[in-house]
Amino acid sequence: MAKRQRVRRRPALPTAGSGRRGRGDQKLPGGILAGERGTWRKKWTDRLPVALIFPNTYAVAASNLGWQLVYDLLNEHPAVVAERFVLPVVGARPLSLESGRPLTDFALVCYSLSFEGDSLTLLELLAAGGLTLEAAARDDDHPLVIGGGVGVWLNPEPLAPATDLFILGEAEVALPPVLQFLVAQWPRLGRRLLPRLAADFSACYVPALYHPSYDEQGRLLAMTVQSDAPARVVPALLREPAAGETAMVAGYSRILSPRAEFSDLFLVELGRGCSRNCRFCAAGFIYRPPRLWSPEAIRAALDHCPPAIRRIGLLGMEMAAPETLAAISALIAERGKSLSFSSLRADALTPALLELLAASRIKTAVLAPDGASERLRRIINKGLSEEAVLQAGEKLAAIGVTTLKLYCMLGLPGEEDGDLLELVGMIRRLKRGLLALGRRRGRLTEIQLSVSSFVPKPWTPFQYHPFAGVAELVRRLKLLQGELAGEANVRISAEAPDKAYFQAVVARGDRRLGLALIAMAAGEKRGNWRRQLTGLGVDPSWYASRPRADGEIFPWEIVDPGITARFLAAEYRRALAGKSGQPCRVGACKVCGVCDG
């Protein structure tokens, strides 16, 4: 097997700094791989060449644990050489990061989609790389295009017209058997293999074998299945090995780069999924049942942290028991590292956790009320009181936090102006408390309110709910900004609602939308995305802002993560009635359909 090597700058690698070009014309940011750890360099001779695309910037891609894992799984196979592609600079031809080759040199073109908003970017990248976008128009002279990642797991249909094969679920279990099959066929890969893949591998979805029909209102009527393909595709899920099986290693940062979004952070997964049942959160539903990794698996992941990296970021803290957190923290401290936290549960700041935060000299902390008022937090099943947020803010300021970030969504089901005014009131009360504390300590804590627009996602109870609409979201945002304008020590930032609108269109899109995205990616850009879609005869509001009825067949139901539509519809009704839901109780519950109880 080829060894994973530290990267030395290859003279042939094109860099913007040197102005040198490789075999194509993409300019890579100066020395993009310089300082990167975890890079694979393998010879191509007699190996199956695989392109691995992440349709976003290098900084975002290099921080994505899923993409890193797939890169390793591919290259750990001795008969495979996998090279990565990220977004090139505008107008440039995409080339692989490792050897500067174009997409058309690869037999397999794999992509990992984490965010549905990146779907159009992905298609543009494929087009810029010289690929024919419509799968139906490609023959065996073209590479096979294979899709994966949580974005397509949630709903593969918008990218179905461009994709030959989807591999759905968690890569550790879904990818290796399919890869082994493809390696065995290499160099005689071809579309004739697709029906076999669909029939023999439960996580494989071959869109060409399924034919949608629609009713007169445009809603999906049925998916007709051809050949031996299953009626629905079950994503593969990882489980901890039983006694006697090979021990597992929890997910961790396999690529470390000074240019990554979390450049100085080594990330370790404490588990997958979440037991809290927040109704807006797609990850909390499709990763069911929630799984916490054993201390041994987490310890094994920590063993991979290079000595030079001092900070450890723990993912999945929401679920971890205080004793587990304490044990892991002690281990991290023992190794001379400090901890970093993405977001903290306001109602779970135990004295031990606060001690740990203080020892890690945390200066910025994030709390996520998500809903503007207590009523909305009941609707989304966040279950967080204002008092819990106020107390958490003061506790964090007391241990030296100088920036307190609050995440909140606008446009949640049932939201009214009164909810936004309640948020403004909470921020003012929080500010008063922090001010009093700051005066005593001689150091003020700033509040940063970060606002995003709510996007209804498939496989959540809000899959039935309409997106609030750009004009309404802008109005609510202005209301918030107006109320908080001039408040010293309070800053507000917001994502553009138009971006969320595009996500809302694609999130619950179908193949007809996918064909329009292909036309947009391949054609000349005239006007914004809304105008382009409308020009292609597609009404974006039909996808984003149409209320869905209980009982409607959804395009994403081609995937079967085990959650029943009955459960989701009942949860939606409970949400609208302002009733909270139960958290997961693995081993003692069958309510959503995923577990045997």
Task: State which residue, 126 or 568, has the beta carbon closest to ligand SF4.
Answer: 568
Under the binding rule (CB under 6 A), the answer on residue 313 touching ligand SF4 is: no
Q: Write out the two tokens for 433.
A: 């408390």
Task: State which residue, 41 or 288, has the beta carbon closest to ligand SF4.
Answer: 288
Q: Which stretch binds ligand SF4 (CB under 6 A): 13-21, 209-217, 315-323, 583-591?
A: 583-591
Task: State which residue, 238 or 333, has the beta carbon closest to ligand SF4.
Answer: 238
Identify the residue among 107, 309, 398, 586 touching ligand SF4 (CB under 6 A). Answer: 586
Bridge partners (DSSP) listed for residue 298: none
Under the binding rule (CB under 6 A), the answer on residue 585 touching ligand SF4 is: yes
Q: Per-residue contact track with ligand SF4, 267 to 296, x per CB under 6 A? A: ---------------------xx-------
For the bound state, the minimum distance from the C-beta of residue 148 to ligand SF4, rounded and expressed in Å, comes to 22
Task: State which residue, 433 or 562, has the beta carbon closest to ligand SF4.
Answer: 562
For the bound state, the minimum distance from the C-beta of residue 170 to ligand SF4, rounded and expressed in Å, comes to 15
Instruction: Could you list the beta-strand ranges (E) of 86-219.
Output: 108-112, 144-148, 165-167, 204-205, 210-214
Under the binding rule (CB under 6 A), the answer on residue 594 touching ligand SF4 is: yes
Bridge partners (DSSP) listed for residue 491: 448
CA–CA dist 282, 280 (Å, integer)? 6
For 210-253, what is the HEC assignment? Answer: EEEEECCCCCEEEEEECCCCCCCECCECCCCCCCCCCCCCCCEC
Q: Per-residue contact track with ligand SF4, 87 to 126, x per CB under 6 A? A: ----------------------------------------
CA–CA dist 291, 367 (Å, integer)? 23
For the bound state, the minimum distance from the C-beta of residue 251 to ligand SF4, rounded and expressed in Å, comes to 20
Under the binding rule (CB under 6 A), the answer on residue 590 touching ligand SF4 is: yes
- The helix (run of H) or strand (run of E) holding residue 300 is helix 295-302
Q: Per-residue contact track with ligand SF4, 156 to 195, x per CB under 6 A? A: ----------------------------------------
CA–CA dist 392, 520 (Å, integer)? 47
CA–CA dist 60, 99 (Å, integer)? 21
Question: What one-character-per-residue DSSP string does 169-186 give?
Answer: B-HHHHHHHHHHHHHHHT
Under the binding rule (CB under 6 A), the answer on residue 10 touching ligand SF4 is: no
Q: Which stretch binds ligand SF4 (CB under 6 A): 36-44, 64-72, 91-99, 587-595?
A: 587-595
Task: State which residue, 326 or 565, has the beta carbon closest to ligand SF4.
Answer: 565
Question: Which amino acid, one-letter code, is at 497?
Answer: P
Q: Per-residue contact track with ligand SF4, 527 to 566, x per CB under 6 A? A: ----------------------------------------
For the bound state, the minimum distance from the C-beta of residue 595 to ligand SF4, rounded and expressed in Å, comes to 3
Q: Which stretch binds ligand SF4 (CB under 6 A): 209-217, 319-327, 528-536, 582-590?
A: 582-590
For the bound state, the minimum distance from the C-beta of residue 276 to ligand SF4, rounded and expressed in Å, comes to 10
* Number of residues forming the site for ligand SF4 (CB under 6 A): 11
Residue closest to 181 by CA, chosen among 265, 80, 261: 80
Task: State which residue, 381 or 452, has the beta carbon closest to ligand SF4.
Answer: 381
For the bound state, the minimum distance from the C-beta of residue 587 to ligand SF4, rounded and expressed in Å, comes to 7
Q: Which stretch binds ligand SF4 (CB under 6 A): 113-121, 389-397, 429-437, 585-593?
A: 585-593
Question: What one-character-per-residue DSSP string does 436-483 give?
Answer: HHHHHHT---EEEEEEEE----TTSGGGGSPP--HHHHHHHHHHHHHH
Q: Which stretch binds ligand SF4 (CB under 6 A): 73-81, 163-171, 489-497, 586-594?
A: 586-594
Residue closest to 280 by CA, chosen among 591, 589, 581: 581
CA–CA dist 116, 76 (Å, integer)? 29
Task: State which residue, 565 or 586, has the beta carbon closest to ligand SF4.
Answer: 586
For the bound state, the minimum distance from the C-beta of residue 585 to ligand SF4, rounded and expressed in Å, comes to 5
Task: State which residue, 5 or 582, has the beta carbon closest to ligand SF4.
Answer: 582
Under the binding rule (CB under 6 A), the answer on residue 570 touching ligand SF4 is: no
For the bound state, the minimum distance from the C-beta of residue 304 to ligand SF4, rounded and expressed in Å, comes to 30
Residue closest to 426 by CA, chosen among 365, 357, 480, 347: 480
CA–CA dist 146, 111 (Å, integer)? 6
CA–CA dist 477, 471 (Å, integer)? 10
Helices (H) and strands (E) in the chain, counts: 19, 17
CA–CA dist 597, 593 (Å, integer)? 9
Residues numbered 234-253 forming contacts with ligand SF4, rule: CB under 6 A: none
Return phi, psi of residue 493, to 5°. Answer: -130, 155
Bridge partners (DSSP) listed for residue 225: 210
For the bound state, the minimum distance from the C-beta of residue 563 to ligand SF4, rounded and expressed in Å, comes to 7
Give the residue nearest to ligand SF4 (CB): 584
Under the binding rule (CB under 6 A), the answer on residue 589 touching ligand SF4 is: yes
For the bound state, the minimum distance from the C-beta of residue 274 to ligand SF4, rounded and expressed in Å, comes to 10
Q: Which stretch binds ligand SF4 (CB under 6 A): 86-94, 180-188, 449-457, 588-596?
A: 588-596
Bridge partners (DSSP) listed for residue 340: 313
For the bound state, the minimum distance from the C-beta of residue 457 to ligand SF4, rounded and expressed in Å, comes to 17
Q: Write out the two tokens for 543.
A: 């996808």
Task: State which residue, 348 or 586, has the beta carbon closest to ligand SF4.
Answer: 586
Task: Give the strands of the sheet with 364-370, arranged side by side.
Answer: 364-370, 403-410, 446-453, 490-494
Q: Write out the two tokens for 205.
A: 């979805």
C-alpha distances (whole Å) from 522 to each of 45, 56, 503 are 33, 18, 20
CA–CA dist 244, 390 (Å, integer)? 48
Instruction: Could you list the beta-strand ranges (E) of 285-351.
Output: 291-292, 311-315, 338-340
CA–CA dist 189, 207 (Å, integer)? 18
Task: State which residue, 435 or 589, has the beta carbon closest to ligand SF4.
Answer: 589
Interface residues toward ligand SF4, by CB under 6 A: 288-289, 584-586, 589-592, 594-595
